[in-house]
């Protein structure tokens, strides 16, 4: 069903929304969600609609976002987050504001923060921004810090909402020390991985903790911008809930009755994949902990054909040149969650690994000569996000790391020419270099905290045996 949603969206983008098969698929998804009663069925249809992005599904998504239970409400809200700004109407914003401000019912922090993010990223009105800013200080501690980080990231990264936020901040009742001095470990940060005059690659990392210091949600996004177009390259989300009992902590408001759960969800090239569960329920959690297994769980692993092009060109000399280009991408996205009561420490890891190979050749073949050029290039790399939380003291210590490993780049070139007499030559070239790895910068508070979590080892001054 999830794949059907992705296919419907692809066909609708190609003006195929009125095809009989597409119409039937849309009826199946919308009708199935309206009739679904079991939680598993509702989640399945919501995942399908999250891929399809049908305009007619928005009223249904709003219904489940506002009145659904925790996981259902969160999935419906994240589905709305993927819609273009033109579909986020005043009615949609009104519902999302009700969810964030809890006008009708109490919602989980993950649902409220997602609703606020949608409002702030889709042409918010003056009062939308003002009410969200005024709420900072009245929220649970970690949610206060998270929302404050979201606002600061909007201003720092100069998103479209930054002008409206600056207008609202001119009011002293909104912009004051008490509101903007909230402490906590939750954060949101956006930065550039690569930037040029015509394109850019950005990464976004936001992480939300519960009041007891346990991870609630981490969200890593990578987006490619080319001109006015953009591609959501990947998103990896790790969610956890109901773990406060392990350290005898008090759950936050609205999360007192949540079952123990941790899972991972991913989007690859703008397509939502099937979520993966680490554990579900307290007994499953304890069995995972006692088995001491921290092996990563693979979300997606596969080989993708990027390009397969063949063309024949007529040259001015009268000869014909044949061109063939092929490219493939191998990808592996995995995640792991480690929890140690002995060391009172938890870690989450998300690893994005990929390898790219592109090869092409041009050949000119005639009755008296055969000549050609073969070129190939290959590279591989990985991007790892690590979140370390030490809750042996309060306030707890949190360190976020995002590392890009060193990547080898290899290029091969072969030129050849052969006459009808049998004579000829072959010239081969090879270039190889190592692209240096790096650690991406996050906010300054994180850098200071990491120095405490991982203190530098003292250098030994001894030069002999004793």
Reported as a single tens digit per residue, the pLDDT across 121-135 is 999 999 999 999 999
CATH of the domain at 199: 2.20.50.20
Shared domain for 376 and 404, answered yes or no, is yes
Q: Are residues 284 and 300 in the same domain?
A: no
214 lies in the same domain as 240: yes
Phi, psi values for residue 381, rounded to 5°: -165, 175
State the Cα torsion 14-19-21-26 to the nearest 10°: 80
Report the 10 Å Cβ neighbour count for 122: 22
pLDDT band of residue 317 (cuts 50, 70, 90) is confident
Tell me what the mean pLDDT of segment 43-66 comes to: 93
416 belongs to a structural domain? yes
Question: What's the CA gap between 336 and 346, in Å, rounded?
Answer: 11
Residues 250 and 393 in one domain: no
Q: What distance lies between CA 225 and its chain's CA centroid?
A: 15
Of the candidates 291, 322, 345, which is a domain's last residue? 291
Q: Looking at the domain assignment, is residue 157 inside a domain?
A: no
- Whether residues 300 and 285 share a domain: the answer is no
- Are residues 298 and 411 located together in one domain of the fold? yes
Does residue 220 share a domain with residue 263? yes
- Picking from 238, 256, 291, the residue at the C-terminal end of a domain is 291
Same domain, 272 and 313: no
**Which 8-state DSSP code applies to residue 349?**
E
| Dihedral over Cα of 20, 22, 28, 30: its sign | negative
pLDDT per position as a tens digit, 229-273: 888 888 888 888 877 766 666 777 767 777 778 888 888 888 888
In whole angstroms, what is the distance from residue 47 CA to residue 26 CA? 13
Evaluate whether residue 347 is within a structural domain. Answer: yes
CA distances to 325, 358, 425, 427, 430 from 375, in Å: 9, 8, 17, 12, 10
Which pLDDT value is given to residue 264? Answer: 83
User: What is the model's pLDDT at position 135?
Assistant: 92
Mean pLDDT of the chain: 85
Is 380 in contact with 355 (CB distance < 8 Å)? yes
User: Within this chain, do residues 328 and 421 fall inside the same structural domain, yes or no?
Assistant: yes
Residue 31 has φ and ψ, to the nearest 5°, of -65, -40
| Poorest-pLDDT segment among 72-86, 217-231, 329-343 | 329-343
417 occurs within a structural domain: yes
In 3D space, the residue among 124, 128, 115 whose CA is nearest the CA of residue 159 turns out to be: 124
Domains identified in the chain, total number: 2
State the average pLDDT over residues 127-153: 91
Q: Do 200 and 282 belong together in one domain? A: yes
Are residue 322 and residue 418 in the same domain, yes or no?
A: yes
Single out the residue of 5, 39, 45 nearest to residue 22, CA to CA. Answer: 5
In a domain, 22, yes or no: no
Q: Are 323 and 199 in a shared domain?
A: no
What phi and psi, each to the nearest 5 degrees, are found at residue 15?
60, 35
Choose the final residue of a domain: 258, 291, 324: 291
Residue 186 has pLDDT above 80, yes or no: yes
Domain span at residue 301?
Answer: 294-454
pLDDT confidence bin for 178, thresholds 50/70/90: confident
CA distance 332 to 299: 8
Give the range among 71-75, 97-101, 274-278 with minimum mean pLDDT: 274-278
Question: Is 315 among the domain residues?
Answer: yes
For residue 56, tell me if it sits in a domain: no
Give the count of alpha carbons within 13 A of 240, CB side only: 27
Dist CA 460 CA 88 (whole Å): 60
Q: How many CB atoms lie within 10 A of CB 364?
A: 17
463 lies in a domain?
no
């Amino acid at each position: 069903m999830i794949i059907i949603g992705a296919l419907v969206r692809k066909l609708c983008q190609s003006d195929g929304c009125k095809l009989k098969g597409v119409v039937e698929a849309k009826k199946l998804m919308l009708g199935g969600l309206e009739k679904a009663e079991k939680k598993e069925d509702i989640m399945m249809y919501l995942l399908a609609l999250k891929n399809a992005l049908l305009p007619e599904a928005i009223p249904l998504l709003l219904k489940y976002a506002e009145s659904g239970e925790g996981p259902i409400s969160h999935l419906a809200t994240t589905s709305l987050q993927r819609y273009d700004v033109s579909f986020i109407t005043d009615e949609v914003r009104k519902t999302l504001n009700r969810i964030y401000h809890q006008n009708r019912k109490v919602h989980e922090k993950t649902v409220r923060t997602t609703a606020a993010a949608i409002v702030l990223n889709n042409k918010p009105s003056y009062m939308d921004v003002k009410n969200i800013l005024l709420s900072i200080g009245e929220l649970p501690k970690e949610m206060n810090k998270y929302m404050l980080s979201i606002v600061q990231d909007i201003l720092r990264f100069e998103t479209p909402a930054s002008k409206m936020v600056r207008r609202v901040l001119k009011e002293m009742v909104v912009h004051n020390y008490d509101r903007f001095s909230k402490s906590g470990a939750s954060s949101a940060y956006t930065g550039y991985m690569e930037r040029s005059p015509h394109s850019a690659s950005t990464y976004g990392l936001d992480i939300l903790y519960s009041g007891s210091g346990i991870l609630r949600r981490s969200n890593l996004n990578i987006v490619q911008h080319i001109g006015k177009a953009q591609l959501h390259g990947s998103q990896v989300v790790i969610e956890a809930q109901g773990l406060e009992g392990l350290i005898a902590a008090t759950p936050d408001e609205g999360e007192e009755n949540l079952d123990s759960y941790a899972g991972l969800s991913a989007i690859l090239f703008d397509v939502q994949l099937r979520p993966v569960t680490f554990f579900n329920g307290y007994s499953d959690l304890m069995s995972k902990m006692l088995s001491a297994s921290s092996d990563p769980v693979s979300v997606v692993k596969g080989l993708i054909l990027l390009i397969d092009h063949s063309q024949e060109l007529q040259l001015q000399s009268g000869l014909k040149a044949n061109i063939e280009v092929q490219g493939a991408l191998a990808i592996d996205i995995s995640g792991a969650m480690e929890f140690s009561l002995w060391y009172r420490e938890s870690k989450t890891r998300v690893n994005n690994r990929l390898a790219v190979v592109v090869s092409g050749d041009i050949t000119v073949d005639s009755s008296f000569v055969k000549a050609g050029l073969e070129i190939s290039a290959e590279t591989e790399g990985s991007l790892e996000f690590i979140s370390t939380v030490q809750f042996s003291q309060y306030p707890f210590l949190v360190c976020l790391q995002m590392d890009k490993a060193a990547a080898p780049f290899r290029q091969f070139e072969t030129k050849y020419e052969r006459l009808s007499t049998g004579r000829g030559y072959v010239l081969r070239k090879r270039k190889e270099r190592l692209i240096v790895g790096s650690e991406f910068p996050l906010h300054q508070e994180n850098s200071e905290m990491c120095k405490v979590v991982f203190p530098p080892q003292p250098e030994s001054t001894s030069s002999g045996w004793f």
